[in-house]
Chains A and B, each alone.
Chain A
Amino acid sequence: MIWNDKFETLPREAIESLQLKRLRQTLVRVYATVPFYRRQFDHAGVKPEKIKTLADLQRLPFTLKQDMRDNYPYGLFAKPLDQIVRIHASSGTTGKPTVVGYTRRDIDNWTELMARSFTAAGAHRGDVIHNAYGYGLFTGGLGAHYGAEKVGASVIPMSGGNTKRQIMIMQDFGSTILTCTPSYSLYLAEAAAEEGIDIRTLKLRVGILGAEPWTEKMREEIEAKVGIKAIDIYGLSEILGPGVGIECIEAQAGLHIWEDHFIPEIINPITCELVPDGEQGELVITTITKEGIPMIRYRTRDITRIIEEPCICGRTHRRLARMCGRSDDMLIIRGVNVFPSQIESVLMDIEGVEPHYLLIVDREGTLDTLEVQVEVNEQTFSDEIKVLQGLSRRIEKEIKDLLGINCRIRLVEPKTITRSEGKAQRVIDKRPK
C-alpha cells in the first residue's frame, strides 16, 4: 500500500525538477531571513540565485550541530515565533540541547511523511499502534503519534518506560504495531517472558523501530523473539524527527528517503567531498520544504550509502542503506576506525550470544585497549571452563578478523549490562582526552 501515490511514485526527472525548484525557494528564503545562512553563503561567495542545478548544492557550506548550539535557542529559525506552533529539542548530552521549531505547515508535512512511513511499514486503519517512543521534547513520540492518527489507526500514546504496564496494555488492548527503539523491543520480549507471557502470542504484527543504530542480525533476532516484522525507520530532530526515511515492508531492504522533501548527499567525513555513487559515507541532508528551521547541507553524522536501484514496492524515492554507525561514534582504536555496530554484527553471528554488549576502551601506557563485555546466558553457558574460554577466544578471533585489532572478551552474568529504555549505551571510553 502506498499512502500518497502521486508523490511517492513520481518519475526520477520529476523528483529532481521538484527538488531544484524547492531548493531554490528555500535558499532565497533562508538567505533573506536567517543571518547565519546569509553569512555562510556570503563567506562561500555564493548567492542563492547562483544555484541553478542540484549539483550546484555542493558549492554551499555545511551546517553542523555546533551551529545549532551556537545559535541557541532560536537563531536558526526562519520564521518568527508567532508562526511557530511546536518546539522540540534534542537531548543535550554535551551542553545545551539543539532546538527546532515547526510551523503549522511543517507539522502537516511531518504528519504526511509519517503517514507515508506507517503505510510503507504495512500499517493501516484498524491497526492499534502502541507508541512507546518518548513523548516530550524528543520528536519520536509526537511525530509517530500524528502520523499514526493520520492513517486512521488507533494510537496508544504509551511513551517510554514502565515496562510491565506496557506489556499489560499491549496484551489487553490488542496492540498490532509497536513503535520503539530496537533494543527496547527485545527488552519488552524479555520482560514479558519474566511475567510468563510469550510476546509472540500477542497480536503484534509489525515493529517500526528506530532512534538508534541496529543491524540485520538484530532484525533476525527481533523478528524471532518478538514475533513481528521489524521495519527500520530513520529520522533526526534537526531535519524533522522520525519519518525522514522508512523501509517498505515489501523489500525490508533500505530506507526510502522522501526526496520531495529532502535532498540527501553522501560525503567522506574526513575530506568532506562527495563520495562516488553508491559508496558509503556520511549522510548530509538539505530540507526543501521546512519553514520553521530549514537545514542546508546538514551533516547528520550517520554513515550510510544511497541505493540507486529501483525498489520492488514501486516507490521511486531512493533508499539509504541501514545506518551502520555515526561518524562521531566512530572509535579510533590503535589507529583503526571501529564502529560499535561492527562488533555487534560479530556477536550476532555467533549462535546464542546476546545482542547486549558493552565496549570499554582504555589505554595502558601508549596502547589503546578494547574490552568487550558479553553476557553469558543459558545457551552459551557451559559447566566446563574450556568451553567458555573457547567462546571468548572465538569472539576475539572474529573481531580480529573483521577489524584487525585485538580485544579482550569479558564474560559477564546475564542482565548485568544495562538495558536502556531509550538509546542503548554501548561504549565507555576511559581514555584520557
Chain B
Amino acid sequence: MKVEQISIFIENKSGRLAEVARVLGEKGVNIRALSLADTSDFGILRLIVDNTDLAKETLKAGGFTVSKTEVVAIEVPDQPGGLSSILQVLDDSKINVEYMYAFVERNADNAVIIFRFDDTDGAISTLQKKGVNILPGERIYGL
C-alpha cells in the first residue's frame, strides 16, 4: 500500500529545476505529483512519476543526488472538511507526519493526499483499521 516517491537535492540556483524537468521529459517520464520544499540554500524536489526506477537512473546519470522514499497516498472526498477528517484520524491515532502535499484527481470527485510518516508501516495498519482509503502505488503511477 506504499507509493514510491523520488526526492532530488536541488541547489538554489537558476535552471536546476528546469534541468530536472528536461531530463525526465527527454526520457518520457511522466510526473504524476510533485512538491518542492525549499530553504535559503537548497530545495528538495519530491516527485511521483509513472516509472520511478527509470526516473531515478536518469537523474543520477544527469549528476543529481536522488533518493527513493516510500509515502502513503490517501483518498478523501474533494469537498469542504475532506482534509480535516483525515487529519483528525491521524491526530487521534498519534501518527506523526513528516510532510504532506495534495492534488485533486482528474476524473473523480476525490482529492489525493500524499503523506510521509516517520513510521510508514505502523501508520498504514492503523489507518486501514480506521477504514481510511489508502491508494496502492499503481493507482497513482497510472493516473
Query: CB distance A411 to B42 under 8 Å?
Result: yes
What's the Cα separation between A410 and B69 when bound, in Å? Answer: 24
Query: CB distance B37 to A376 under 8 Å?
Result: no
Interface residues of A (CB under 8 A from B): 376-378, 381-385, 388-389, 410-416
Query: Within 8 Å CB of A416, what residues of B?
Result: 11
What's the Cα separation between A293 and B115 when bound, in Å? Answer: 72
Counting chain B CB atoms within 10 Å of each CB, the highest count among A388, A389, A410, A413 belongs to A413
Closest residue of chain A to B65, judged by CB?
A381
Contact-residue bracket for chain B: 20 to 34
Residue in contact with B9 in the complex, picked from A389, A410, A413, A415, CB distance below 8 Å: A413
Query: CB distance A389 to B11 under 8 Å?
Result: no
Query: CB distance A414 to B67 under 8 Å?
Result: no
Closest residue of chain B to A382, judged by CB?
B67
Given the known interface contacts A378-B67, A389-B39, the answer about A384 and B9 at a Cβ–Cβ threshold of 8 Å is no
A-B contact pairs, 30 of them (CB 8 A): A376-B42, A378-B66, A378-B67, A381-B9, A381-B66, A381-B67, A382-B67, A383-B5, A383-B44, A383-B67, A383-B116, A384-B98, A384-B116, A385-B37, A385-B39, A385-B44, A388-B39, A388-B42, A389-B39, A411-B41, A412-B42, A413-B9, A413-B10, A413-B11, A413-B16, A413-B63, A413-B65, A414-B64, A414-B65, A416-B11
What's the Cα separation between A377 and B9 when bound, in Å? Answer: 9
Closest residue of chain A to B68, judged by CB?
A383
Query: Within 8 Å CB of B44, what residues of A?
Result: 383-385, 388
| B55 → chain A closest CB, angstroms | 14
Query: CB distance A376 to B9 under 8 Å?
Result: yes
3 smallest CB-CB distances across A and B, nearest first, come from A383-B7, A381-B65, A383-B69
Query: CB distance A376 to B116 under 8 Å?
Result: no
Known: A413-B64, A416-B11. 12 other contacts (CB 8 A): A376-B65, A381-B66, A383-B5, A383-B69, A384-B44, A384-B99, A385-B39, A388-B9, A411-B11, A413-B9, A414-B64, A414-B65
Given the known interface contacts A376-B9, A381-B9, A383-B116, the answer about A414 and B63 at a Cβ–Cβ threshold of 8 Å is yes
Query: CB distance A412 to B11 under 8 Å?
Result: yes
Query: Within 8 Å CB of B63, what residues of A?
Result: 413-415
Query: Within 8 Å CB of A411, what residues of B?
Result: 9, 11, 41-42
Q: Classify the secondary structure of B's interface with A.
A: strand
Counting chain A CB atoms within 10 Å of each CB, the highest count among B11, B37, B46, B99 belongs to B11
| A229 → chain B closest CB, angstroms | 31
What's the Cα separation between A384 and B9 when bound, in Å? Answer: 10
Query: Within 8 Å CB of A413, what residues of B?
Result: 9-11, 16, 63-65
What's the Cα separation between A410 and B16 when bound, in Å? Answer: 16
Closest residue of chain A to B38, judged by CB?
A385
Residue-by-residue, is B10-30 near A (CB-CB < 8 Å gives 1, otherwise 0)?
110000100000000000000
| B23 → chain A closest CB, angstroms | 14
Counting chain A CB atoms within 10 Å of each CB, the highest count among B10, B16, B42, B98 belongs to B42
Which residues between 66 and 100 of chain B lie within 8 Å of chain A, taking CB atoms?
66-67, 69, 98-99
Closest residue of chain B to A414, judged by CB?
B65
Closest residue of chain A to B46, judged by CB?
A383
| B14 → chain A closest CB, angstroms | 13
What's the Cα separation between A48 and B46 when bound, in Å? Answer: 74
Query: Within 8 Å CB of B7, what residues of A?
Result: 381, 383
Query: Within 8 Å CB of B10, what residues of A?
Result: 413
Query: Within 8 Å CB of B9, what residues of A?
Result: 376, 381, 388, 411, 413
| B22 → chain A closest CB, angstroms | 16
What's the Cα separation between A383 and B47 when bound, in Å? Answer: 11
What's the Cα separation between A376 and B43 when bound, in Å? Answer: 12
Counting chain B CB atoms within 10 Å of each CB, the highest count among A381, A383, A412 belongs to A383
Query: Within 8 Å CB of A412, what residues of B?
Result: 11, 42
What's the Cα separation between A411 and B41 when bound, in Å? Answer: 7
| A82 → chain B closest CB, angstroms | 55
Counting chain A CB atoms within 10 Å of each CB, the highest count among B7, B10, B16, B41 belongs to B41
Query: Within 8 Å CB of A378, what residues of B?
Result: 65-67
Closest residue of chain B to A371, judged by CB?
B41
What's the Cα separation between A376 and B63 when bound, in Å? Answer: 11
| A190 → chain B closest CB, angstroms | 12
What's the Cα separation between A414 and B37 when bound, in Å? Answer: 19
What's the Cα separation between A315 and B60 when bound, in Å? Answer: 49
| B67 → chain A closest CB, angstroms | 6
Residue-by-residue, is B45-71 near A (CB-CB < 8 Å gives 1, otherwise 0)?
010000000000000000111110100
What's the Cα separation between A383 and B42 when bound, in Å? Answer: 12
What's the Cα separation between A389 and B66 when bound, in Å? Answer: 17
Query: Within 8 Å CB of A385, what residues of B?
Result: 37, 39, 44
Closest residue of chain A to B98, judged by CB?
A384
What's the Cα separation between A412 and B69 when bound, in Å? Answer: 21
What's the Cα separation between A150 and B41 when bound, in Å? Answer: 53
